[in-house]
Structure 1
Amino acid sequence: MFCHIKYSRIFESIMTSKLPPALIRSLIENYHIEDEEFIATHTNGEQLTSIRLNPFKHSQAFANSEQMPWCTNGRYLAERPSFTADPLFHAGCYYVQEASSMFLEHVMKNTIDLSENLKVLDLCAAPGGKSTLISSLLTKDSLLLANEIIKTRVPVLCDNLNKWGPENTFVSNNDPKDFKRLEGYFDAIVVDAPCSGSGMFRKDPAAINEWSESAVQLCSQRQQRILADVIDALKQNGTLIYSTCSYSKQENEEISDWLFETFELESIRIPIESEWGIVETQSDDHQCYGYRFYPHKVRGEGFFIAAFRKKSISAFPQIRRARENTVNTKSEEIIKRWLIDSQEIRLINLQEEFFAIPARLEADLSYLQSRLYLKKSGVRIGKVMGKDLVPNHELAVSLLNNPAVHRINLTHDQSISYLKREELRLESDHRGWALMCFEEHPLGWAKILDNRLNNYFPKEIRITNPNVV
């Protein structure tokens, strides 16, 4: 009788909350979740806001905000500000990211030797949250390849990585099956797989109407295809990190069992603190470790993550020395006036534009170009026109700018006008190119002439909301 009353009450709560009954029943049966608390978190209207500071661009942004326990630069905000109206956001001083997904840092620190020079693939990368986090953890001579299969999502991925700053980042627009061409190349692969999205119900209630058991099954099949396509690109003893924003067992623990059965992988247990509220699980068949995030237990949204070590032998990639990519002395002299003084940077000339990458990665660039469709290679510097460089926006927000390049610090209001590509009137004795900055952080380029200032902030990323002031 008690059980009947309990489930009647639960069913009534589910109907009120509009959460899928099948999902709630499966969580109760498989994971014994605290149903009332779980449902309450989806109906009380509470929303969390979290950001991650950029360690390469130190600022006073959110300096007094609460630190996240599993991410060094993760911060909880007491309220959600207008990020669009913050010039430091556009300068790449921080990234707005969901708190649970930042647990990736803790997983990487406990499964990978991050002091080594690594090659890391973020397979399903847009819009760039996990890619920028990975970038923060790698050595400067490591390589990060951020891939996005959907072409229309690539520009925002490139923009977010550009703003983050380092030049050891590449972006590709390829199907997962294309990575079979890179057998044994990566030390680590992160697959934040497309999923049914139930973990985001609190943040995005509209997603509830799109959820179904058939959608879960389709997602599970897609996740298997993606993983099967990319596993060959992981070297022996390399680390595979798999995550979803789903609560469904079919997309999480059952995928772990499938990975264990299909490939020579071993599950890696991640140390966690009990006060974090993260739930450690083990899959039914092979006891693979997984980590579940429930919004009534953690300060974050629904999330699942698991890590594996590859035991099977992979072919060793044959990376030949790159063909000589000559940059004439005149162009090189012009460009280097704009860059920090470093012997570790290699200039690459591609179709009349110049790019900068770590010198150590020149052969890797050629290797990737021969096998993938690259959309970003290091930092795009610009074009040499006559005796001067026409600088690209990527250079402006990168970490490569020579401190001697002329800078103009703007007020907040001037910065917003600049970011809207509006006309600016500034008093300056300088003539020529200048970096427009806010609190010393570059936003983009402008060219100062005798009677006007030409605003070169890219049209495609300008602020278009007229209400932002």
Structure 2
Amino acid sequence: MVQLPERFVNRIREQIPDASALLSSLNQPSPVSIRLNPLKPDSVFDSEDRIAWCPMGRYLQKRPVFTLDPLFHAGVYYPQEAGSMFVDEVLRTIELPDSPVCLDLCAAPGGKSTVLLSHLSGKGLLVANEIIRNRALVLRENLIKWGAGNCIVTNNEAADFSQLGSVFDFVLLDAPCSGEGMFRKDEQSRGEWSEENAEHCVVRQREILEDIWPSVRSGGYVLYSTCTYNKEENEEQIREWIEEGRAELVQLQFPDEWNLTTGTGELGWYCYPHKMKTEGFYFVVLKKTESPEVGLSGKKTGKKKMREEKRDHPELIKGIVHSEYSIHYYREQFYAFPTVVLETGKLILDKLRCLKWGVRLGGGEGKKFIPDHEWGMAVHVPADFPKINLDEKTALRYLKGEAIQIDGPKGWVLVSFKEKVLGFGKNLGNRMNNYYPKEYRIRMKIE
């Protein structure tokens, strides 16, 4: 096992009264936890221990091979560290508008974004952003699995959001940090830690906060979090915002039995792994007090505004046109997008790099129309196709991209496991063409 960095150990001994207990806990096995998807309910984890601060959270007795579980690919649950699930408790505590516009700024791989989508329950809009493109693609995959239609995935820097004006009611900033809270779960993070890197994180965090602040509405909330114990990256990072009157601290109350620890000056909360069944996690909630709100920026982006071509809807998608979602044709693909936040959605599509916008339904005309994987996975925009249920072994073969034999009607079908959709197939009678996306296919060996 990689030893804990000496300078980290020395600082923790000065910082925390029961430092020995914390340092000892970092050499113990990590708990395994998942969060269930309320959009795709299933009873498979009913007997597992519940996480007190997250009704859909569960502790597992041992870590399964998630890649070999079809329900994971169906979006029935998401493996997530229990401490980060406090986002769920925060969202139940604060008051947001009926259709809030929310941003998860540093969202990959997507655990906290799925918490937000579960809380929104189909209302409002979530913009999930990730600056690193390959991580943004992983984020998109995980949010497609989750199945919520009121979501946009973007691939932008924090400063780019200033072009939108003050549009967000809630911003989750899980800031890039020195990663001390992951020392137990990820040994590699021990080797990458340095005081110099922590200092760099402090500067970067401040820049991100400054860049995103104009995008928050007056009276809107910012949930700032890290997975580190470093006060410079935590309490001291947000202290000035309060002292300068730019924000006020949102007071939160938690049951004593949860064993949370308040930060210095009661600025935020810590999850310590020697006190709780979590990794290391810090969070604090700010309410923006600055006004007036910032209007749209006049800065040109070099992008063309969204231009929808008028196109008749294929018969396959005519049945889903209703008041909550509207259908749009853009760059040879059909999309469904929540009507109540459509103007905000168009603004974001115009100004930012979007990797996912609402629900992509598919493209083509007549018999050549090919439904998109996003549509099959979506809950709020259900695809009206025959469903073919597979056993576990055959479902894994489908997820590997193999051709399989099925009994069912010819044409497009939804392939499922335990009634949970995995994706599309096209039944030709003697065989089924597998339309599970190549980039998502299982690559590991199946026994």
TM-score with structure 1 setting the length = 0.89
Matches within 5 A, 1:26-105: 26-32=11-17, 34-44=18-28, 46-105=29-88
Residues in 2 aligned to 1:317 and 1:140: alpha-carbon distance in whole angstroms: 27
Q: Is the 8 A contact 2:164 2:296 kept in 1?
A: no
After superposition, the Cα gap between the structure-2 partners of 1:291 and 1:29, relative to the gap in structure 1 and judged at 3 Å, is: same
Deviations 1:185-224 (A, max 9, x none): 1001110000110100000112111111111100000000
Deviations 1:308-365 (A, max 9, x none): 111010326469xx9884643x42544124x4x7321100111110011111122112
* Runs (5+) with no aligned partner, structure 1: 1-15
Higher alpha-carbon deviation: 442-451 or 455-464: 442-451
Q: Which one of the candidate residues 398, 403, 413 is aligned to 2:378?
A: 398
Shift of 1:111: 2.3
Q: Is the 8 A contact 1:121 1:189 kept in 2?
A: yes
Residue 8 (structure 1) aligns with: none
After superposition, the Cα gap between the structure-2 partners of 1:17 and 1:167, relative to the gap in structure 1 and judged at 3 Å, is: closer
Residue 11 (structure 1) aligns with: none
Residue 126 (structure 1) aligns with: 108
Question: Secondary structure of 1:130's partner?
Answer: helix
Residue 354 (structure 2) aligns with: 374
User: What is the letter of the counterpart of residue 7 of structure 2?
Assistant: A
Residue 299 (structure 1) aligns with: 277
Matches within 5 A, 1:7-406: 18-32=3-17, 34-44=18-28, 46-113=29-96, 116-261=98-243, 264-282=246-264, 287=265, 289-315=267-293, 317=295, 325=308, 327-328=310-311, 330-331=312-313, 333-337=315-319, 339=320, 342-387=322-367, 389-400=369-380, 402=382, 404-406=384-386
Q: Is the 8 A contact 1:353 1:382 kept in 2?
A: yes
Q: Is the 8 A contact 1:184 1:314 kept in 2?
A: no
Residues in 2 aligned to 1:150 and 1:347: alpha-carbon distance in whole angstroms: 30
Question: Secondary structure of 2:53's partner?
Answer: coil
Q: Is the 8 A contact 2:315 2:366 kept in 1?
A: no
Higher alpha-carbon deviation: 22-31 or 162-171: 22-31
Shift of 1:20: 2.2
Residues in 2 aligned to 1:121 and 1:252: alpha-carbon distance in whole angstroms: 20
Whether 1:446 and 2:428 are equivalent positions in the alignment is: no
Residues in 2 aligned to 1:434 and 1:332: alpha-carbon distance in whole angstroms: 17
Shift of 1:401: 5.5
| Structure with greater Cα Rg | 1
Residues in 1 aligned to 2:244 and 2:76: alpha-carbon distance in whole angstroms: 42
Q: Percentage identity across aligned positions?
A: 38
* Cα RMSD, aligned residues only: 2.0
Q: How many residues are treated as equivalent by the alignment?
A: 440
User: What is the letter of the counterpart of residue 396 of structure 1?
Assistant: G
User: What is the letter of the counterpart of residue 436 of structure 1?
Assistant: V
Shift of 1:262: 5.1
After superposition, the Cα gap between the structure-2 partners of 1:323 and 1:436, relative to the gap in structure 1 and judged at 3 Å, is: closer
Q: Is the 8 A contact 1:256 1:288 kept in 2?
A: no
Q: Runs (4+) of structure 1 moved beyond 6 Å?
A: none
User: What is the letter of the counterpart of residue 362 of structure 2?
Assistant: G
Q: Is the 8 A contact 2:415 2:424 kept in 1?
A: yes
Residues in 1 aligned to 2:292 and 2:391: alpha-carbon distance in whole angstroms: 55
After superposition, the Cα gap between the structure-2 partners of 1:116 and 1:298, relative to the gap in structure 1 and judged at 3 Å, is: same
TM-score with structure 2 setting the length = 0.94
Higher alpha-carbon deviation: 450-459 or 196-205: 450-459
Q: Is the 8 A contact 2:37 2:77 kept in 1?
A: yes
Residue 465 (structure 1) aligns with: 444
* Runs (5+) with no aligned partner, structure 2: 298-304
After superposition, the Cα gap between the structure-2 partners of 1:402 and 1:224, relative to the gap in structure 1 and judged at 3 Å, is: closer
After superposition, the Cα gap between the structure-2 partners of 1:177 and 1:402, relative to the gap in structure 1 and judged at 3 Å, is: closer
